[in-house]
């Protein structure tokens, strides 16, 4: 199987609203593949985040596909609210519902890419029974809920374990996304391990003011294609 293309997903919770249009123009010019949308309900994670109206407005401003990271409880009953498109990625968390496989089934009619998100302490073997029902894994390198956190160190080793599992189970078609504290250094390490979607937040892209974003993206692009 050909290796997955290396892609960037810009974390919109880090983007200021004042310069939103200009920021999106830079992302389009730089070929950013996805916009990462952290949806948070104040229950599954201790924060509130980007919601339905924000998503609707964003769709009017750009056609870059969305990478919807649903950090919400019982997401299977809320998919309808969001306006999911076929070109989107949708991640749901292993711990966010008692019926993960059913939730993944409910996602199927939307035609989007279905990802399962796992927290730093979620055992890798939890993935085994759902490999047939997912297109990707969103591997959290931090505990979800906030931008600008430090990596949980054990997650690098865990990324290796995930790749090993995919190989053993003949599921190398499954995409691995990494989310949280993706610095240039972590991006480069994780790319070598086999990750292919990189969430760009405070640790890489949103450093300095808007004039730095294009440069920051080019640096990240270099790091992931090393
Ligand atoms: C963590 C969020 C991320 C965050 C990642 O809960 O899911 O999207 O913005 O970017 P950093 O850690 O670099 O700010
Ligand atoms: Zn996220």
> Can you read off the two tokens belonging to residue 129?
């029974």
- In order of their start, the domains of the chain are 7-225 (3.20.20.70)
Closest CA to 156 of 174, 166, 141, 137: 141
In the chain, the percentage of residues whose pLDDT exceeds 70 is: 100
Question: Does residue 53 have an active-site annotation?
Answer: no
**Residue closest by Cα to atom 9 of ligand 1:** 147
Three-class secondary structure of residue 45 per DSSP: coil
107-164 tens-digit pLDDT: 999 999 999 999 999 999 999 999 999 999 999 999 999 999 999 999 999 999 999 9
- The pTM for the full model equals 0.98
Burial 40-70 (b: 16+ CB within 10 A, else e): bbeebbeeebbeeebbeebeeebebbbbbbb
Question: Does residue 179 have an active-site annotation?
Answer: yes
Three-class secondary structure of residue 189 per DSSP: helix
> Can you read off the two tokens belonging to residue 125?
């073997």
Q: Is the CB of 69 under 6 A from ligand 1?
A: yes
Q: How confident is the model at residue 222 (pLDDT cuts 50, 70, 90)?
A: very high
Q: Which backbone phi and psi does 24 adopt, to 5 degrees? A: -65, -35
């Amino acid at each position: 199987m050909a290796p997955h293309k290396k892609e960037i997903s810009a974390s919109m919770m880090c983007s200021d609203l004042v310069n939103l249009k200009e920021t999106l123009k830079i992302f389009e010019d730089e070929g950013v593949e996805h916009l990462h949308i952290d949806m948070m309900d104040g229950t599954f994670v201790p924060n509130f985040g980007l919601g339905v109206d924000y998503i609707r407005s964003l769709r009017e401003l750009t056609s870059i596909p969305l990478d919807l990271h649903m950090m919400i409880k019982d997401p299977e009953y809320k998919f309808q609210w969001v306006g999911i498109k076929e070109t989107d990625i949708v991640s749901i968390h292993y711990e966010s519902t008692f019926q993960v496989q059913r939730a993944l089934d409910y996602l199927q009619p939307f035609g989007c890419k279905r990802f399962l998100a796992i927290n730093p302490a979620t055992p890798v073997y939890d993935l085994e029974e759902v490999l047939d029902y997912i297109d990707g894994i969103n591997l959290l390198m931090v505990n979800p809920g906030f931008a600008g956190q430090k990596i949980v160190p054990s997650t690098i080793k865990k990324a290796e374990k995930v790749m090993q599992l995919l190989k053993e189970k003949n599921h190398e078609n499954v995409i691995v996304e990494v989310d949280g504290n993706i610095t240039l250094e972590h991006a480069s390490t994780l790319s070598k391990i086999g990750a292919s979607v990189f969430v760009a937040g405070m640790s890489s892209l949103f450093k300095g003011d808007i004039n730095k974003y294009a440069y920051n993206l080019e640096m990240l692009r270099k790091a992931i294609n090393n």
